[in-house]
Amino acid sequence: MLSTLHLPLTFPNLMVLLGGLWFATRLILYVVQKPLKFLRGPAPTSLLCGYEYDLFQQENVGDKEYKWYEEYGTAFRVSGVYAEDVLMTADPRALQYILQTSGKLSCHMAIRYRFLRPVDFQRRICRLFDKGEIHQRQRKVLNPAFSAQQLRQFLTMFQESALHLSRKWKEDMAQDGLTGKKFNIPFWLGKMTLDIIGKTSFDFDFGAIDNKEGIPLRVLFSEIFKDSIKPTKLTILQRSLERYSPALFNMFPIKENVRHHTFLTELRRIARNVYERKEWAEEEDVRDKKDILSVLARANHTEDTKRRLNDSEVIAQVATMISAGQETISFSTTYLLYELSQHSEDQARVHHEISDLRAKIGPDSVPTSQDYDSMPYFNAVIKEALRLHSILPQAHREAANDDIIPLEFPIITASGEVVSQIPIKKGQRIHVSIGAYNRFFIWISLACVWGPDANKWNPSRFLGSDNRMSQTNIGVMSNLTTFSGGIRGCIGWRFALMEMQSILFTLLESFDFSFPVVPCKSNAGKMEDEYELQRLPAGLMVPVVKGKGAFGPSMPLNVELRAA
Ligand code: HEM
Ligand SMILES: *[C@@H]1O[C@H](CO)[C@@H](O)[C@H](O)[C@H]1NC(C)=O
Ligand SMILES: *[C@@H]1O[C@H](CO)[C@@H](O)[C@H](O)[C@H]1NC(C)=O
Ligand SMILES: *[C@@H]1O[C@H](CO)[C@@H](O)[C@H](O)[C@H]1NC(C)=O
């Protein structure tokens, strides 16, 4: 049977086959009992691979997903892998409930989460952050690494690396005798954010901007998501089986897992080296070090056993930092520069604020975090870019108990009833549409979070008071869900924000960004954009030149030196 399918007889494929039998059973159940059958929802194009396949097939993140929301309202049913019912929602109150208010459930002394994070993409890389107590302890240990005092130290590293890139670009232009050049933005920002995360998380120099040779970890890292862009149906099935039986997949890994494993092994080797050097060093020497690994090492020396981590946990934390804190920032900043290159008046306005600040602090000073925060439009464009381009468009959760999900905007059920809560059963899978929430506006159902310009770039919405149409307070910043929220919200959000501020300030101070144009073919004398931006769905939302996704992240912009 396997040979007729042209599948090599490997264990994962055998599992897929077993999954097929499981699927047949499910199919019968599909007709008989479906936990969410009272909800409306779209039929998937592939019954076996479910809606996830549809989402990965979208040209841009949201193309299909947003249409579903327009048709069904803020919550509906989708059919997942093996026809499993999945609840999909972007309703503000539902999101707040799932991510925040009910993040944990205290029963006596033990802490259990109401909504668990299934083994997914992110977790497969770092194998970390388990249920309840362990997760809480790890967050506690990590928190000092993101304290205000710590972030001030990191700020200097952000600024140094941004200046480094700026110098590199200037040298590059000078070499060719130019005052402007086209650079592939995510390529360069990716190098910079990798250098930064290396230094901040474990005092390691990736040397990416300088293209230093002989650093295998960098090569491994650049390829880590290679199998994750446009996964085939088979990969989607294999991944979902891993969810049912992670142990088996550790024994018989698929290509993706092998890549992640190689990366982790190399990371472990380097981190251990750095770590051992620290152990030999004098206590004081370690005390001075500000990288995250040193902070964790100090935590291990405390008497408080609750705050101790064992070796494998420390390495796992560092691995998470590196995988969570690099491309997220580089892509978010890429989208920001894209918007500024498309809206030159906004770029001019931000540059104006930067010049004013520079005049105030003098030519030789480095801005402080308060300086950055004092520029309203500067911060509004960052927030608007984070809103319009949520780099992680979705989060996944699983109900730990039977529960009732409240909605801010009522929906119409399959039987035509209007309801504002959804009862769910234990184990119910939930697809939290972070990106859809950030752009939510539907005329027909009057379910509005943002105004009618929700799909448009408009930084001014963040000046003045909250002008959303939702009553729900959500997320960690400006009612955006980009960083999720609650106990499992992004621990690095201030870090990310400060890094984006540093990059924007440093680059805009020296350069002007514009979108490349070419003579218009159909209309002589006019110019048109050289290419279209595509927001590729691949776990993370990857910025690419439309149709060129296979070559990795790409977005060339014209970078011009500003007159001094
Ligand atoms: C623009 C940049 C970033 C965005 C948009 C972002 C977004 C997110 C989101 C949405 C989550 C929650 C995922 C879920 O609930 O399934 C998350 C978790 C996390 N992020 Fe970020 N992140 C960014 C940068 C960073 C940075 C710079 C770091 C660290 C240096 C970081 C570390 C983490 C960690 C450790 C978690 C897991 C937290 C937990 O499970 O308790 N992130 N991030
Ligand atoms: C480290 O701690 C984790 C739980 O936090 C545990 O699963 C693991 O076995 C421990 N490893 C060692 C080497 O003690
Ligand atoms: C933490 O401390 C324990 C016991 O003191 C030690 O065995 C372990 O190697 C230390 N791990 C780290 C990461 O410092
Ligand atoms: C978030 O939304 C709530 C409710 O609408 C509002 O009271 C609050 O001011 C908002 N917060 C921010 C930072 O905009």
| 477 DSSP assignment | B
pLDDT for 279? 57
Report the distance separating Cα 434 and Cα 58, nearest Å. Answer: 17
Cα separation, 254 vs 260, whole angstroms: 10
Reduced to 3 states, what is the DSSP secondary structure of residue 163?
helix
Chain segment 395-404, per-residue pLDDT in tens: 989 898 899 9
Among the bound ligands, name the one nearest to the CA of residue 396: 1
Residue 241 pLDDT > 90: no
pLDDT of residue 109: 45
Average pLDDT value for residue range 422-443:
89
How large is the greatest C-alpha to C-alpha distance in the chain, in angstroms? Answer: 75
pTM of the model: 0.90
Rounded Cα gap, residues 522 and 463, in angstroms: 40
What gap in Å lies between CA 231 and CA 446, rounded to an integer?
36
Instruction: Give the distance (Å) from ligand 3 centre to CA of residue 205.
Output: 25
Bridge-based pairing of strands 540-545 and 447-448 is unpaired
- pLDDT higher than 90, residue 221: no
Residue 171 pLDDT exceeds 50 = yes
Locate the ligand 1 atom nearest the alpha carbon of residue 99 and give its number: 15
- Arithmetic mean of pLDDT, 200-223: 81
**Pocket of ligand 4 contains residue 265 by CB under 6 Å:** no
Minimum mean pLDDT among 80-94, 258-272, 274-288, 513-527: which range? 274-288
Mean pLDDT confidence for 323-345 = 94
Q: What is the C-alpha separation between 161 and 154, in angstroms, rounded? A: 11
The residue type found at 42 is P
Q: State the pLDDT confidence band at 24, using cuts at 50, 70 and 90.
A: confident
Mean pLDDT of the chain: 83
Determine the distance separating the centroid of ligand 4 and the alpha carbon of 70, expressed in angstroms: 25
- Residue ranges of alpha helices (H) inside 33-147 are 50-57, 63-72, 92-96, 121-126, 132-142
Spatial CA neighbour of 125 closest among 296, 308, 253: 253
Task: Tell me the best of 373, 409, 466 to mutate to test the pocket of ligand 4, counting ligand atoms within 8 Å of each CB and taking the most.
Answer: 466
Residue 130: the pLDDT is: 46
The token duo for 401 is 């108990």
- For 47, counting Cβ atoms within 10 Å of its Cβ (0-12 exposed, 13-18 middle, 19+ buried), the class is middle
- Tell me the two tokens of residue 87: 């609840």
- Give 419's DSSP letter: E
How many A from CA of 368 to the centre of ligand 2? Answer: 40
Which 3 state secondary structure label does DSSP give 209?
A: coil
Minimum mean pLDDT among 230-239, 364-373, 413-422: which range?
230-239
Q: Which atom of ligand 3 is nearest to the CA of 308?
A: 1
Site to probe by mutation for ligand 4, drawn from 479, 481, 482, 493 as the one with most ligand atoms within 8 Å of Cβ, is 479
Hey, what amino acid is at 57? Q
How far apart CA 232 and CA 228 sit, in angstroms, is 9
Per residue, what are the HEC states of 281-295? CCHHHHHHCCCHHHH
Count CB neighbours of 179 within 10 A.
Answer: 13
Question: What pLDDT, on the 0 to 100 scale, is given for residue 122?
Answer: 44
Is the confidence at residue 418, as pLDDT, over 50?
Answer: yes
312 lines ligand 2 (CB under 6 A): yes
Helix (H) or strand (E) holding 556: strand 556-561
From ligand 4's centre to the CA of 480, what distance in Å? 10
Q: Which ligand is nearest to the CA of 133?
A: 2
Ramachandran assignment for 131, one of left (phi > 0), alpha (psi -120 to 50 degrees), beta (any other): beta
HSE-up of residue 472 (Cα within 13 Å, Cβ side):
27
Coil/strand/helix, residue 118: coil
> For residue range 465-500, what is the model confidence (pLDDT) as tens digits?
767 788 888 889 999 999 998 878 899 999 999 999
pLDDT band at 309, cuts 50/70/90? Answer: confident
Q: Could you give the CA distance from residue 207 to residue 168 in angstroms, rounded to a whole number? A: 13
Q: What band does 324 get if pLDDT is binned at 50, 70 and 90?
A: confident
Whether residue 473 has its Cβ less than 6 Å from ligand 2: no
Residue ranges for the known binding site are 490
CA pair distance 44, 76, nearest whole angstrom: 13
Asked if 116 contacts 66 with a C-beta cutoff of 8 angstroms, the reply is: no
Cα 378 to ligand 4 centroid, rounded to whole Å: 20
Residues with C-beta less than 6 Å from any ligand 3 atom = 297, 300, 310-311, 314
- Model confidence at 180, pLDDT cuts 50, 70, 90, reads very high
92 token code pair: 């503000």
Examine the pLDDT at 283 and tell me if it is beyond 70. no
- The pick from 279, 311, 314, 318 for probing ligand 3's pocket by mutation, whose C-beta has the most ligand atoms within 8 angstroms, reads 311
The answer to whether the beta carbons of residues 438 and 393 sit under 8 Å apart is no
Contact 469, 450 (CB under 8 A): yes
Q: Provide residues with CB under 6 Å of ligand 1.
A: 117, 129, 139, 320-321, 324-325, 328-329, 332, 391-392, 395, 482-484, 488, 490-492, 495-496
Lowest model confidence (mean pLDDT) among 80-84, 240-244, 364-368, 429-433: 240-244
In the chain, the percentage of residues whose pLDDT exceeds 70 is 82
**72: CB partners within 8 A, 6+ apart:** 40, 41, 42, 411
Q: What is the pLDDT of residue 443?
A: 63
Task: Tell how far the Cα of 6 is from the centroid of ligand 4, in angstroms.
Answer: 55
Q: With bands split at pLDDT 50, 70 and 90, how would you rate the model's confidence at 110?
A: low
pLDDT at position 1, please? 40
Q: Pick from 473, 474, 478 the residue to mutate for probing ligand 4's pocket: most ligand atoms within 8 Å of its CB.
A: 473
**CB of 363 closer than 8 Å to CB of 564:** no
Q: Which atom of ligand 4 is nearest to the CA of 472?
A: 4
Q: Residue 177, SS3?
A: coil
Is the pLDDT higher at 231 or at 472? Answer: 472
pLDDT for position 446: 63
Task: Report which of 360, 361, 390, 336 is spatially closest to residue 507, judged by C-alpha positions.
Answer: 336
Q: Convert the pLDDT of each residue in 245-255 to its tens digit.
A: 666 666 666 77
What's the residue count for the chain?
564
Please, which pLDDT band fits residue 4 given cuts at 50, 70 and 90? very low
At position 48, the amino acid (one-letter code) is: L
Half-sphere exposure of 517 (CA within 13 A, CB side): 11
